[in-house]
Amino acid sequence: MEPFFYVTVGCGMALATSVFTMISGLFEVVGGLGVLLGIALAGLFCLVIALSIGELASMYPSAPAIRTYLKTAFGDRVSLVLVYLYLISVILVAGLESFIFSQVFQAVFPNAATIPTVLSLIGVVLAVNLAGLDLPRSTQMITTVLAVMLIATSGVYGLVMPKIDFSTSIGAQAGADLLLTLPAASGMAIFLFMGFEWVTPLGMRPKSYQWHVPVSMPIAVGVLVITFELFVLGAASQLPRSAIASTPIPHVPYLATLYGPVGVYLALGLALLATISTFNAGIMGGSRLIYMLAREGNLPGWCASISLRTSAPVGSILLLGGSTLASAIVVVTWRIEVLVAVIGAAIMCVIYAAFLLAALVLRKRRPEAARPFRSPVWSHVQWAGVIVLPFMGLQTLFSQPDWGVWPVLGTGAAVTLAALLAWRYRTASRQEPRGNQAPLVVSPEPGREGC
């Protein structure tokens, strides 16, 4: 079951409720055929990226992936900027995810208000994490399998029982138009795979990094491509393009069209499955990354506080929870869900290019290092990915002319914040001796033993 667990982690981390928001955004920008091609192309890129990350994971087993790989390849400063950027994208997506959950919840319970629903969701997840509760591996596997099965079978069912003319949604975009919009669509579709790499620190034993963990990622990407393509085909067979593009939760009307009123409950079930696996694991993994950065002296010391009783990294969980709430409020207030997803996708294009480059750089810089797994992809293809991915990310920012300069401004703000954080904390941590930058703070929680 071990290899299967890794595959489900990779799939489960990507299968957030907000992927449907991005699919809606894709339908708005390119139409059905462009969506299918965009997802396929993004999947192909992610396949190459997954193999490179697999190689890096085999070199540095159990390491906090992004920080270790990029630090060893590019040095402290550049890697810090990228790690902060990654964290910012995680926070943006977590905020978006909680908002989308509230929208699905309202589809079932129309009287539920958005902000209290968002607060409740974040509160429950924070409480679970603060209590130090780990999701059992079996639960991770079951929730992911259920989600994949529900999306894929609904896709097949929708496709074989079409309610509208398929070409209405798929559309007949002219060849040149399609080619022009495809880079942006592929960049946006990268968002759908975001998180497959979170499996890298979870290997259970040294041998896991020789084959199981590295190979699990491309398999997860493959499963995701098939699942998303089936969803798109199914949705395009049931709803017109305008209906899919006009809602941030297109899976709700789609499942309702397919199964009747039960479909709305299935959509809520899907959102709950995503919350159990993706959202919870995202908060856990993200807080662990913040904790590591704080321990290195790259974030304020209080972020490294832990609970003596549960060993939960209390400071980092609260920081991430608070930031997620702020991000959710911004999304709720200005209804910028697709914009936030697009900024997240653009950032991930750059981060994934950095992973590809890191693997190539380390082959030159550390040729002697043990690599139990080596990406079989031709290096010229990897170099092409390094160049093309940031370009795709940039195209993504201009995918919707209605947004004007907001995507660029938002991404610029994220990059500036990341650079400022890297400058501020790296300068401080350089003055400390090796590896002992931040004092450990053990939280003096009421009713708990502290020190």
Instruction: Return the residue of 313, 344, 385, 410 that touches other proteins, per CB under 8 A.
Output: 313
Nearer to other proteins, 241 or 295 (CB): 295
Q: Total binding residues for other proteins by CB under 8 A?
A: 40
Query: Taking CB under 8 A as the rule, does residue 371 contact other proteins?
Result: no
Residues 281 to 300: which contact other proteins by CB under 8 A?
Answer: 284, 288, 291-292, 295-296
Please identify, among the stretches 148-156, 197-205, 239-247, 320-328, the one whose residues bind other proteins according to the rule CB under 8 A: 197-205
Query: Taking CB under 8 A as the rule, does residue 72 contact other proteins?
Result: yes
Q: Which helix (H) or strand (E) holds 283?
A: helix 280-295
HSE-up of 185 (CA within 13 Å, CB side)? 24
Side chain identity at residue 259, one-letter code: Y
Do residues 38 and 185 lie in contact, with contact meaning Cβ atoms separated by under 8 Å? Answer: yes
Q: Is 107 exposed, middle or buried (0-12, 13-18, 19+ CB in 10 A)?
A: buried
How does DSSP assign 114-174, residue by residue? HHHHHHHHHHHHHHHHHTTPPPPHHHHHHHHHHHHHHHHHHHHHHHHS-SS-HHHHH----
Please identify, among the stretches 146-154, 181-189, 204-212, 217-225, the one whose residues bind other proteins according to the rule CB under 8 A: 204-212
Nearer to other proteins, 60 or 352 (CB): 60
* DSSP 3-state of 63: coil
Alpha-carbon span 41 to 441, nearest angstrom: 46
**Tokens 């396949």 identify what position?**
47
Query: Taking CB under 8 A as the rule, does residue 204 contact other proteins?
Result: yes
Please identify, among the stretches 41-49, 87-95, 263-271, 308-316, the one whose residues bind other proteins according to the rule CB under 8 A: 308-316
Please identify, among the stretches 198-206, 263-271, 317-325, 390-398, the one whose residues bind other proteins according to the rule CB under 8 A: 198-206
| Cα–Cα separations (whole angstroms), residue 228 to 151, 225, 232, 337 | 8, 5, 6, 19
Alpha-carbon span 305 to 439, nearest angstrom: 9
Q: Which helix (H) or strand (E) holds 205?
A: none
Query: Taking CB under 8 A as the rule, does residue 442 contact other proteins?
Result: yes
Alpha-carbon span 34 to 178, nearest angstrom: 6
Instruction: Return the residue of 40, 44, 47, 63 that touches other proteins, per CB under 8 A.
Output: 63
Partner residues linked to 442 by β-bridges? 306
Do residues 51 and 268 lie in contact, with contact meaning Cβ atoms separated by under 8 Å? Answer: no
- Closest separation between CB of residue 90 and other proteins, Å? 16
Nearer to other proteins, 187 or 203 (CB): 203
Instruction: Return the residue of 40, 44, 61, 330 that touches other proteins, per CB under 8 A.
Output: 61
Query: Taking CB under 8 A as the rule, does residue 355 contact other proteins?
Result: no
Nearer to other proteins, 332 or 351 (CB): 351
Cα angle value 114/116/121 (rounded, 5°): 95
Query: Taking CB under 8 A as the rule, does residue 439 contact other proteins?
Result: yes
Nearer to other proteins, 68 or 103 (CB): 68
Instruction: Return the residue of 127, 134, 180, 335 that touches other proteins, per CB under 8 A.
Output: 134
Alpha-carbon span 198 to 312, nearest angstrom: 19
Residues 415 to 434: which contact other proteins by CB under 8 A?
Answer: 434
- Closest separation between CB of residue 416 and other proteins, Å? 25
Query: Taking CB under 8 A as the rule, does residue 212 contact other proteins?
Result: no
Alpha-carbon span 17 to 93, nearest angstrom: 10
Q: Is 408 exposed, middle or buried (0-12, 13-18, 19+ CB in 10 A)?
A: middle
Binding flags for other proteins, 232-271, as an x/- string (CB under 8 A): ----------------------------------------
* DSSP 3-state of 305: coil
Q: Which residues bind other proteins (CB under 8 A)?
A: 59-64, 67-68, 71-72, 132, 134, 201, 203-206, 208, 284, 288, 291-292, 295-296, 306, 308-313, 434-437, 439-440, 442, 449, 451
